[in-house]
Amino acid sequence: MTDRERYKRTFSVLQASEHRFMEVTSMNITRKISVRRLSAVCVAAVFVIAMASFAYAADVGGIQRTVQIWINGEQTSAVLDIQNGTYTLTYPDNAGNSHEVHGGGIALEDDGTERPLTEEEIMEHLDSPEVNYAEDGTIWVYYRGQALDITDTFDNSISYVQVKDGDDVIYMTIKYQNGYATSSHSYPNPDSFNCNPE
């Protein structure tokens, strides 16, 4: 006689009471119900995630991604959201506070038609020099890792500034409190542009 046969013979004489049998049966039913509930919760969670993904994908042509940009001479990570030629740039400051910058526009084609700015054009704009009028009265030009104090360079409310990145030179003509223009060839004529105060 094998061990298996001995176990069968020993336990075949044991009988569970009616009460214990009902308790075991009800435990199995409870387990099935909780498994069903768990399955339903999992299906609902998958459905919610799928709908959220679908809603994000249905963001009619929008582009949202994390980019590295220069803000006030410091490189930082920011979230760039582009939709139909406009953008929202969200970035943290040194204290961890979130800031948003909005911009965008249109470009004119050779035939005179207008089109929204492309992602490349927006990134080029965000990577261009920036003029900042500080609360203490100083005026700064920021370009990538550079910070230039140009407060004393104005003559008749016009300043001419060069910023460099390697061999590349950007020529800037800045009108005091009235915008600026840039060129990679020469200083733009201050009479050729008129901006609103920044």
Are 148 and 161 in contact, with CB atoms under 8 Å apart?
A: yes
What's the mean pLDDT when you consider all of the chain?
Answer: 77
Q: Is the predicted pLDDT of residue 24 greater than 70, yes or no?
A: no
Higher pLDDT, 53 or 178: 178
What is the number of residues in the chain? Answer: 198
Among 21-30, 36-45, 87-96, whose mean pLDDT is lowest?
21-30
Output the furthest CA–CA distance in the chain (Å, rounded): 114
Question: Would you place residue 175 in the very low, low, confident or very high pLDDT band (cuts 50, 70, 90)?
Answer: very high
Query: What does the pLDDT read at residue 149?
Result: 94
User: Cα 163 from chain centroid?
Assistant: 28
* Mean pLDDT on 115-132: 85
Residues contacting 188, CB < 8 A, separation 6+: 171, 173, 181, 182
Query: What does the pLDDT read at residue 136?
Result: 94
* Mean pLDDT on 68-78: 80
Closest CA to 126 of 191, 70, 86, 84: 70
| Domain residue spans of the chain | 18-57, 61-127, 133-198
Q: Is the predicted pLDDT of residue 58 greater than 50, yes or no?
A: no
Backbone angles phi, psi at 176, to 5 degrees: -55, 120
* Mean pLDDT on 44-51: 64
- The model's pLDDT over 87-121, given as tens digits with 9 standing for 90+, comes to 888 888 878 888 888 888 888 888 988 888 888 88
